[in-house]
Chain A
Amino acid sequence: MAELAVDKHFKYILSVEKNKDSFESVVMDHLRMNGAYWGLTALDLLGKLDSVNVDEVISWILKCQRESGGFSGNIGYDPHILYTLSAVQVLALFNKLDVLDIDKVATYITGLQNEDGSFSGDMWGEVDTRFSYIAICCLSILCCLDKINVEKAVSYILSCKNLDGGFGCTPGGESHAGQIFCCVGALALTGSLHYVDKDLLGWWLCERQVKSGGLNGRPEKLPDVCYSWWVLSSLIMIDRVHWIDKEKLVKFILDCQDVENGGISDRPDDAVDVYHTYFGVAGLSLLNYPGLKAIDPAYALPVDVVNRIFFSG
């Protein structure tokens, strides 16, 4: 069986960070904050976080904070809840949450909760359960979850529960592994997992594993390494991960590596990117792959980072 090319991936991630002039990079300019979270968390899981210049990263992050308290995807862009979470997660990795004016960030997020408990992504009102997860995860990391109406937030998420046990982006939306991760994660963080029909959802999730051993995101779709995170973390949170063949999945992820140039792609022999590199490594961590730090399935941060937030004094 192939092995994880740790060194190659480490060098790949650093190169992505530095290479700002390729077309790929410019086209992803607006979500650099997400990219930072993917790259840096992957580095931490690989045990290589100390190779990064912390101060540079933090200074750039703070430049992305706008007046409203939210963070933008990169300098100059508008704030959005997506990038606010990534910013907070990266600061948590570095144990630098204290550089934040927590009230300011919390105010931005609480301002995005709607009457029905749902969350908008920004002032323009797009509603999606992804944003519910983001709000809950972000405020949990900042230890001020009680600033939102948790009960309403949970009931909105439950209104997006489908008859197959999964969750969609809005009520009636088709079950999709990404949305399921967000909803199950949000329910986990709010002590509400008892509302999930774990057997029903567990079966839907375990049937994402196709013959090649990879996982798809919904029925009759192609497998993709990023679902090694969305499906796997959901299965772990509801304690049904033993319903898939873990070894086969490990093999699939390892087959998606570019062992020469580093990086991991969505499926074998496709182009690599930092998004799939992160999800591949995170998936392997959830599968107990040796040499990787353990990752928390709900916060999507290393376990030691999460424990540090909640249990140290």
Chain B
Amino acid sequence: MHGRPRKAPKPEDEAASSAKAQKLRALQTQFFSFHHNKIYTKEAVELSAKLLEINPESYTAWNYRKLAVEHYLNLPDCNPDSIKSVLDDELRVVENALRQNFKSYGAWHHRKWVLSKGHSSIDNELRLLDKFQKADSRNFHAWNYRRFVAESMKRSEQDELKYTEDMIYANFSNYSAWHNRSVLLSALFDKKAEGFLLKEKVLPEEYEFIHQAIFTDPDDQSGWFYHLWLLDQTVTTDSPLLASSWPGHGSDVLLVGDRCYNGSAFSPFSALHSDSGSFPIVLYFNQPVRGVNSSTVTVECGFNKNEDLLWKPLSASNSQTARVWVAHLKVPSSDLHSTVEVSVGHTKGIISTRGFEYSHPSMLSFKVHVQPMERDSSQVSVAESISLREENFKVYGKQSEESIIDSFDQLIIKNGHETTASNWRFEALAKEIECFRELLSLVDCKIGKLTLARLLKAYDAMSYPFANKLVHSEEVLELYSDLMKLDRTHYQFYKDERSIVLLQKYKDSVSSAICGPICLRLNNLSLSRMGAFEKLLWVQMLDLSHNELQSIEGLKAMQLLSCLSLRNNKLRSLTALEPLRKLKLLRILDISYNQIGDHSIDTTRYVCSSPLSHSVGSELNRDETVTSDVALINNWEAFYIFKDFNLNQLDIVGNTIADEKFKSVLVKIMPKLKQLDGKLLD
């Protein structure tokens, strides 16, 4: 099926083909007769060998041979010699078949099956493998078989590691060998085996090794992914850490049931307009964890019992693992000034997906001030539509000369333990940076620029927040801009990476007297993707309009969002709004002038919760009145996305999908909606 040249069929070819076909047909028919009648004579079994030699993919013949072998092994007169002869025969048939097609699943599996009967030696099998790997060093069947043999015959990881080294020295362009090497090293790191205990010794050697591959031919991909893995091993600490939280440590939270302050001098990062009598505590970890509950995270405050707090993971479907965890603290409605202390990880139980414990207990404390409502909220006029053109929006890019508060530091938790941040990590990164700068001075290559960008980002991430700036941001941004020109095929990939770096650069300077809601403008930045959420947990009103966002992946971390504009972006489907389902405070949403309805292929179809992915939980209570009116088959995306929203105001004009019929469906799905596209609803 692969790699055969296209030829116009000639009459003599067709005749030959027809003859061959008839011969094969006859063989098949005869074979079936033996198989269905359970005939296992020598002649019958020999026929199946003939069939498999012509067509090793005829899977039923392999099944037949297994039945024949079992038949022989169960004969009363079988002895070790006759068994050996029978099994030898099978191995011979497999070798013949593999010669015909060395990628035949059936043949390789048959060999494994024969070996499970306790025959053949490790030397035999390795010799066979050598033959096949010389013929094609990327044959993954052979590599899989090699792993199978190594394991069942207990060959040491170190010996296998040496084999990968030999293969790589024979030819650097051997991704399969590099892959195998990463599997073996990984296992050795995990085992903390003798001599492999220290990543700091092994990784520098591996970097030397991989340089030979990458620098010899920078366009050959074989080494790229291995290098990325080495980088990950260098910077990643095993234990999960708390990256950020809201409220931040040392902050003051003002809760008002109203829209206006009374001019108190509170930091903008801590005031929340709450009409629900509670506020969220958000914990943002550096990797997904499970086991966050009222035992592993204790919240001490005068007005709430710790045991009553329910910590929920912000995850898709029913997963109990997430990077972001939220609990809601109920607040009494009377005047209140109180301190809250949150202890994270003093009891064991918070564990990363790879099984590492949260090992550095942290504590954060903040003050809560409750200001009782001045007006009866039910009298607030619903005609007031919130406009996002408020003067007290913080605008990206406008930074005052003096930064009074380095505000993000309030949120980013300083994890003191890694301060002597293992010097070997910094040394390894610094050396790599030097090597790749050198490479780029000789060859203007894509992998050079991309790797350098990654190295600089990693270096900055490791240094922050001890260093107060991301030193290399400008250089990284420029590298990505270069890559967008150099490798146009992958333009969007570099653009997405660049968007995240741009956001991480964002620092805010703040004056201490702020009124009104906490808003951030991030428009007209050509953002194709969102990121840096750990820095944005405080945002209540977000203006992302006039960008190029086709995804808002990760936005669910911004638990305080009440007002969001995605106007004039490139959202392609309703399912792309899935992250917003977790924003319980969201009341105003503008998704006007996007591309919803333009595209027949939905790229977020499986990242949204729906029956298609079996991720609609038992809490789904299909409102009968809604679905009887709403033809689900035509509107399932709208139903599953919007049914849990609690919006007051929605703008959807300028999307192909937003015709009158669709808008009336929306109104049925969201009965609490008060305003749609500027029109008041009754």
Contact of B606 among A22, A188, A248 (CB under 8 A): A188
**Docked-complex contact B147 and A239, CB < 8 angstroms:** no
What are some 7 contacts across the A-B interface (CB < 8 A)?
A: A124-B63, A163-B225, A189-B614, A245-B490, A248-B489, A270-B4, A271-B4
Say how far A100's CB is from chain B's closest CB, in angstroms.
20
In residues 481-510 of chain B, which contact A (Cβ within 8 Å)?
A: 488-493, 496
Contact of A176 among B2, B140, B609 (CB under 8 A): B140
- Contacts A193-B606, A241-B603, A296-B605 given; indicate if A219 touches B222 (C-beta within 8 A): yes
**Docked-complex contact A164 and B225, CB < 8 angstroms:** yes
B644 within 8 Å of A (CB atoms): no
Q: How far is the CA of A296 from the CA of B613 in the complex (A)?
A: 12
A9 within 8 Å of B (CB atoms): no
**Docked-complex contact A306 and B612, CB < 8 angstroms:** yes
How many interface residues does B have (CB within 8 Å)?
A: 87
**Docked-complex contact B601 and A294, CB < 8 angstroms:** yes
B21 within 8 Å of A (CB atoms): yes
Interface of B (DSSP majority class): helix
**Docked-complex contact B1 and A273, CB < 8 angstroms:** yes
Contacts of A294 in B (CB 8 A): 600-601
**Docked-complex contact A25 and B600, CB < 8 angstroms:** no
Contacts of B58 in A (CB 8 A): 29-30
Q: How far is the CA of A273 from the CA of B4 in the complex (A)?
A: 10
Mark each residue of chain B from 169 to 193: 1 if its CB lies under 8 Å from any CB of chain A, else 0: 0000101100110110010000000
Q: How far is the CA of A286 from the CA of B113 in the complex (A)?
A: 40
**Docked-complex contact A125 and B553, CB < 8 angstroms:** no
Known: A124-B63, A169-B144; 7 extra A-B contacts, CB below 8 A, are A78-B59, A164-B182, A192-B317, A209-B490, A243-B496, A266-B2, A311-B611
Say how far A35's CB is from chain B's closest CB, in angstroms.
11
User: Which partner residue on chain A sits nearest B58 by CB separation?
Assistant: A30
Say how far A282's CB is from chain B's closest CB, in angstroms.
11
User: Which partner residue on chain B sits nearest A194 by CB separation?
Assistant: B316
Contacts of A308 in B (CB 8 A): 633
Mark the stretch among B24-32, B250-258, B511-519 that contacts chain A.
B24-32
Contacts of A76 in B (CB 8 A): 32, 36, 60
Contacts of B220 in A (CB 8 A): 220
**Docked-complex contact B140 and A307, CB < 8 angstroms:** no
Q: How far is the CA of A12 from the CA of B196 in the complex (A)?
A: 58
Contacts of A285 in B (CB 8 A): 601
Q: How far is the CA of A170 from the CA of B107 in the complex (A)?
A: 17
Contacts of A114 in B (CB 8 A): none
In residues 213-233 of chain A, which contact B (Cβ within 8 Å)?
A: 213, 218-221, 224
B57 within 8 Å of A (CB atoms): yes
**Docked-complex contact B490 and A174, CB < 8 angstroms:** no
**Docked-complex contact A170 and B179, CB < 8 angstroms:** no
Q: How far is the CA of A244 from the CA of B182 in the complex (A)?
A: 27
Task: Pick from B3, B7, B488 the residue with the most CB of A within 10 Å.
Answer: B3
**Docked-complex contact B113 and A78, CB < 8 angstroms:** no
- Contacts A29-B28, A30-B58, A285-B601 given; indicate if A270 touches B490 (C-beta within 8 A): no
**Docked-complex contact A172 and B606, CB < 8 angstroms:** no
B303 within 8 Å of A (CB atoms): no
B109 within 8 Å of A (CB atoms): yes
**Docked-complex contact A271 and B5, CB < 8 angstroms:** yes
In residues 115-156 of chain A, which contact B (Cβ within 8 Å)?
A: 122, 124-126, 128, 140, 145, 150
Q: How far is the CA of A159 from the CA of B105 in the complex (A)?
A: 21
- Contacts A22-B17, A124-B63 given; indicate if A191 touches B317 (C-beta within 8 A): yes
Q: How far is the CA of A244 from the CA of B492 in the complex (A)?
A: 8
Q: How far is the CA of A24 from the CA of B24 in the complex (A)?
A: 11
Q: How far is the CA of A124 from the CA of B111 in the complex (A)?
A: 12
Say how far A189's CB is from chain B's closest CB, in angstroms.
6
Contacts of B7 in A (CB 8 A): 271
**Docked-complex contact A190 and B614, CB < 8 angstroms:** yes
B134 within 8 Å of A (CB atoms): no
**Docked-complex contact B319 and A311, CB < 8 angstroms:** no
**Docked-complex contact B492 and A242, CB < 8 angstroms:** yes
Contacts of A195 in B (CB 8 A): 353
Mark the stretch among A53-61, A105-113, A199-207 that contacts chain B.
A199-207
Task: Pick from A220, A240, A241, A298 the residue with the most CB of B within 10 Å.
Answer: A220
**Docked-complex contact A221 and B607, CB < 8 angstroms:** no
**Docked-complex contact B493 and A126, CB < 8 angstroms:** no
Contacts of A237 in B (CB 8 A): 603, 605-606
Task: Pick from B4, B113, B321, B606 the residue with the most CB of A within 10 Å.
Answer: B606
Q: How far is the CA of A245 from the CA of B221 in the complex (A)?
A: 18
User: Which partner residue on chain A sits nearest B147 by CB separation?
Assistant: A172
Say how far A264's CB is from chain B's closest CB, in angstroms.
11
Contacts of A73 in B (CB 8 A): 59
**Docked-complex contact B175 and A124, CB < 8 angstroms:** no
Contacts of A220 in B (CB 8 A): 138, 173, 175, 220-222
Contacts of B173 in A (CB 8 A): 220
User: Which partner residue on chain B sits nearest A164 by CB separation?
Assistant: B225
User: Which partner residue on chain B sits nearest A239 by CB separation?
Assistant: B603
**Docked-complex contact B488 and A245, CB < 8 angstroms:** yes
